[in-house]
Chains A and B, each alone.
Chain A
Amino acid sequence: MQGINIDIIKYIRSRDYDEDVKKCLIESILIEYDKFACDFHHYTNDYDKILNKYIKVEE
């Protein structure tokens, strides 16, 4: 299938970053891949959704 360049994903996975950072970066790349001609607000909402997965603040 025509899709994301798996080499980039493999490269990120092979790096010594924090696991959450890696996951978030890969998800962000997928968002970028998935989006076409989106405005900034669209991006912000998508990024917000991704970041919310990794940020938890205790009440």
Chain B
Amino acid sequence: MKIDSVKIENFRQYRDVKIDFSKDSNKNFTIIQGNNGTGKTTLLNALSWCLYGEEIHDYKDESSMNICNNKTAYTAKNGENFKVMVEIKFIDEDKPLIFNRTLHFHKTDDKLIKDAFGDEFQVGKMVENQLEFTENDYYTREQKIPEDIENYFFFDGARLSEYFQKDKKIRESVYNLSQLNLVENVDKHLEKVITKYSSKLKKIEPDLGKSVEDLTNAEIEIKNKEKLIEESKEIIEEAKWHIKDYTERLSKFDSIKKDINRDKQLEKDLNILNKELNDLNNNKKNLILKTYPYLLAYDTFTNFLDEGRKYVKNGYLPPDFKREFIEELLNNKKCLCGLDLSTHEENRNNLEIILKNTSPITDINDEINIALSKVKTILQEISKFKVSITEIEEKIKNKEKESSKKSEERESISNQLKDNPEKEITKYQYLKEKYSDSKDKHQRNIGRYESEIRILNDKIKTLKLKSSKEKSLKIEAEELNQKIIFSKKVIQAAHEVNTNLTKEMKNRVEDLTQDKFIKIQWKKDEFTDIRLNENYEIYIKNKLGDEERPGDLSDGEKLCLGLCFISALHSISGFNLPTIMDTPLGNLDKDMRHNIAKFLPEFVNGDQIILLVTGTEYTDDFRDTLYDYIGKEYVINWTGSEEGKESKVISNEL
């Protein structure tokens, strides 16, 4: 993939710049020359910002801090909208691939307001011969230029020696560059997949086989119930035969049975009649006992009543005065009218005459009246008794008559039943009932068994469904097991590939770094061997056989080694990207610079290279040595005024 051009609008000191890069494999170098502070690192950061939304390269000149070009911001009128935009156009398989990031601004009250939604990231790709832009297509970006490896293609030359620092995770980066991380991810993700399969398997396994066992048990149970139904049916048939037999036998006793029933009824009736007679006789006896004393005194009562009536008739009863009342008046010597009888002799005498003429009967007048009333009642009772006793006797007579009639009938029936067939009938009835009960019982049993069979059949239906599900579960379990086994084999292979390729990659980087370094370093016999440990830490063997760390080298040597190392990494990388180096020659002396210019085209082997260099770095010798490979050359012109700063990129005719 080659970088075709970069368009920059209002990004820091770049107001409106377009740079076309050389894509020719024979002239694969693009040189952008600019003095310190003119915007070389800003150019690098414009690319990082466009791709990843961040400016990851350090600024040497920290004065230009606003992302928005301050000249544009200054000259913009209030209410005006403008944007910061960087667009990188790549050519990927002869098709354009465009990354664009834009941030909108608005000026109001002399202040810059950033778009609240932040910047917009778009990727433009050819779709059916048409360029289509998609927002936030990070997928394409990560496929083409993953953020992890960006540092190895777009870098600050002055910081090359940092790759040798111990804390630099070079091993991880080499992994990402060489795409061995993909193999490692296969290993990691397949392990997770196995864990998922295993947990799925654990859930499935306990249920396997259970419904088959339940199904077999249910089927056996149904067979047992069916057998019991058959047995019950046989018993019912036998019972029916017996019931019929005893019914026939009993039918022969039908007439006798009537007599027996009649006899039983008569016996019951006679018992009732006897009881009723007994009750009537008791009533009669009680009535006589109760009334008898009055009957004996009947004449006395009659005479007493007659005499009493005579007294009443003759006016003795009731008497005129009560004697004791008159006696009391005389004793008190005071008349009822209040007259003092002690002084009124005549009145007193009159009272004494009245007393004299008053009958002694007046003293018992009340008792006589009560007695007369009682006697009258008794005599009424006696006359009622006569009626009652007549009624009872009549009833007794009727009941005795009825009893006698029924006794006669019973005696006649008893004579007929003297052979006593009842025992036989009872026996047959008992047996008939027994078989009838047995028949009913077994019919109930059949009903119960049939209902149980229905339930079992439903259960079987469910179990069959479950069983077929289990069957598929069994297949699933088998499949999971096989997948686990197969995945383990793939993991083992991935692991082996990873280990071997890691070793191989390391050896290749080691060899390539050594080859390149030996070629470009000027003290030809100074260093003999370069070694990388497993963390990609570099050790250099000098001519005396001692191992040195890059820290022991001069700045120029370190930079040179860094270039060789990066170049070696590119060789093993799965990515074919342009390399953009910012100020890579700063610390190199004339010879080293010459050597780099001489050997660099060979190192990069036609890959697209963009060098951001200072005037000091870009000497005539360097330019002349590299000249045949330079496709495009630019100079950054920086201008500063009150209104703000601006850098322009001017193309140089080659």
Check if A55 sits within 8 Å of B574, measured CB to CB. Answer: no
State how many angstroms separate the Cβ of A26 from the closest Cβ of chain B.
10
A37 to B138, CA, bound (A): 9
User: Out of A5, A11, A24, A34, which one reaches B490, CB within 8 Å?
Assistant: A24
Check if B139 sits within 8 Å of A17, measured CB to CB. Answer: no
Q: Which of B16-24, B456-464, B481-489 contacts A (4 or more CB under 8 A)?
A: B481-489
Check if B189 sits within 8 Å of A32, measured CB to CB. Answer: yes
Check if B497 sits within 8 Å of A8, measured CB to CB. Answer: yes
By beta carbon, the residue of chain A nearest B139 is A36
Check if A59 sits within 8 Å of B475, measured CB to CB. Answer: yes
Central interface residue in A28, A29, A32, A34, by most chain B CB within 10 Å: A28
> Given the complex, which residues of A lie within 8 Å of B483, measured CB to CB?
51, 55
State how many angstroms separate the Cβ of A50 from the closest Cβ of chain B.
9
Check if B144 sits within 8 Å of A8, measured CB to CB. Answer: no
> Given the complex, which residues of B lie within 8 Å of A8, measured CB to CB?
178-180, 182-183, 497, 501, 574
> Given the complex, which residues of A lie within 8 Å of B189, measured CB to CB?
28, 32, 40, 43, 47
Instruction: List which A45-59 residues lie within 8 A (CB) of chain B.
Output: 47-48, 51, 54-55, 57, 59
User: Out of A1, A5, A12, A28, which one reaches B179, CB within 8 Å?
Assistant: A5
> Given the complex, which residues of B lie within 8 Å of A5, measured CB to CB?
178-179, 182, 573-574
Instruction: List which B569-595 residues lie within 8 A (CB) of chain A.
Output: 572-577
Check if A28 sits within 8 Å of B494, measured CB to CB. Answer: yes
Asked if B135 is an interface residue, CB under 8 A from chain A, the answer is no
Q: A29-B183, A29-B186 are in contact. Are A1 and B92 (CB under 8 A)?
A: yes
Asked if B500 is an interface residue, CB under 8 A from chain A, the answer is yes
User: Out of B179, B192, B486, B497, which one reaches A51, CB within 8 Å?
Assistant: B486
Instruction: List which A21-35 residues lie within 8 A (CB) of chain B.
Output: 21-22, 24-25, 28-29, 32-34
Instruction: List which B144-200 residues lie within 8 A (CB) of chain A.
Output: 144, 178-180, 182-183, 185-186, 189-190, 192-193, 196
> Given the complex, which residues of A lie within 8 Å of B144, measured CB to CB?
2
A10 to B183, CA, bound (A): 13
State how many angstroms separate the Cβ of B569 from the closest Cβ of chain A.
13
> Given the complex, which residues of B lie within 8 Å of A57, measured CB to CB?
475, 478-479, 482
Check if A11 sits within 8 Å of B500, measured CB to CB. Answer: yes
State how many angstroms separate the Cβ of A44 from the closest Cβ of chain B.
6
Chain B interface size band reads 35 or more
A24 to B190, CA, bound (A): 11
State how many angstroms separate the Cβ of A7 from the closest Cβ of chain B.
8
Asked if B142 is an interface residue, CB under 8 A from chain A, the answer is yes
Majority-rule SS of A interface residues: helix
> Given the complex, which residues of B lie within 8 Å of A29, measured CB to CB?
182-183, 186
Check if A21 sits within 8 Å of B489, measured CB to CB. Answer: yes
A43 to B178, CA, bound (A): 22
Check if B196 sits within 8 Å of A2, measured CB to CB. Answer: no
Check if A2 sits within 8 Å of B179, measured CB to CB. Answer: no
Asked if B143 is an interface residue, CB under 8 A from chain A, the answer is yes
Q: A1-B92, A2-B577, A48-B193 are in contact. Are A28 and B186 (CB under 8 A)?
A: yes
> Given the complex, which residues of A lie within 8 Å of B504, measured CB to CB?
11
By beta carbon, the residue of chain A nearest B97 is A2
Check if B575 sits within 8 Å of A25, measured CB to CB. Answer: no
Mark contacts of B131-142 with chain A using CB atoms, 8 A cut-off: 1 yes-contact digit, 0 otherwise: 000000011001
By beta carbon, the residue of chain A nearest B93 is A1
Check if B497 sits within 8 Å of A32, measured CB to CB. Answer: no
Check if B190 sits within 8 Å of A47, measured CB to CB. Answer: yes
User: Out of B139, B182, B572, which one reaches A32, CB within 8 Å?
Assistant: B182
Asked if B446 is an interface residue, CB under 8 A from chain A, the answer is no
> Given the complex, which residues of A lie within 8 Å of B196, measured CB to CB?
44
State how many angstroms separate the Cβ of A38 from the closest Cβ of chain B.
10
Asked if B85 is an interface residue, CB under 8 A from chain A, the answer is no
> Given the complex, which residues of B lie within 8 Å of A54, measured CB to CB?
486
User: Out of A11, A22, A33, A59, which one reaches B182, CB within 8 Å?
Assistant: A33
State how many angstroms separate the Cβ of A34 from the closest Cβ of chain B.
8
Asked if B361 is an interface residue, CB under 8 A from chain A, the answer is no
Asked if B1 is an interface residue, CB under 8 A from chain A, the answer is yes
> Given the complex, which residues of B lie within 8 Å of A55, measured CB to CB?
479, 482-483, 486
State how many angstroms separate the Cβ of B95 from the closest Cβ of chain A.
10
> Given the complex, which residues of A lie within 8 Å of B288, measured CB to CB?
none
Check if A32 sits within 8 Å of B186, measured CB to CB. Answer: yes
> Given the complex, which residues of B lie within 8 Å of A6, measured CB to CB?
574
Instruction: List which B72-102 residues lie within 8 A (CB) of chain A.
Output: 92-93
> Given the complex, which residues of B lie within 8 Å of A11, measured CB to CB?
497, 500-501, 504
By beta carbon, the residue of chain B nearest A29 is B182
By beta carbon, the residue of chain A nearest B491 is A25
Check if B138 sits within 8 Å of A36, measured CB to CB. Answer: yes
Central interface residue in B186, B196, B471, by most chain A CB within 10 Å: B186
A2 to B92, CA, bound (A): 7
A53 to B500, CA, bound (A): 27
A29 to B192, CA, bound (A): 15
Q: A5-B179, A5-B574 are in contact. Are A21 and B142 (CB under 8 A)?
A: no
A17 to B138, CA, bound (A): 36
User: Out of A17, A18, A20, A47, which one reaches B193, CB within 8 Å?
Assistant: A47
Check if B186 sits within 8 Å of A25, measured CB to CB. Answer: yes
Would you list 10 pairs from A and B whose C-beta atoms are within 8 A, ordered by A residue? A8-B501, A21-B489, A22-B493, A24-B490, A25-B494, A28-B189, A28-B494, A37-B138, A44-B192, A51-B483
8 additional A-B residue pairs with CB within 8 Å, beyond A8-B178, A43-B192: A5-B573, A7-B574, A15-B493, A15-B496, A21-B490, A25-B490, A36-B143, A59-B471
What 4 A-B pairs come out closest when comparing CB atoms? A5-B574, A5-B179, A36-B142, A32-B182
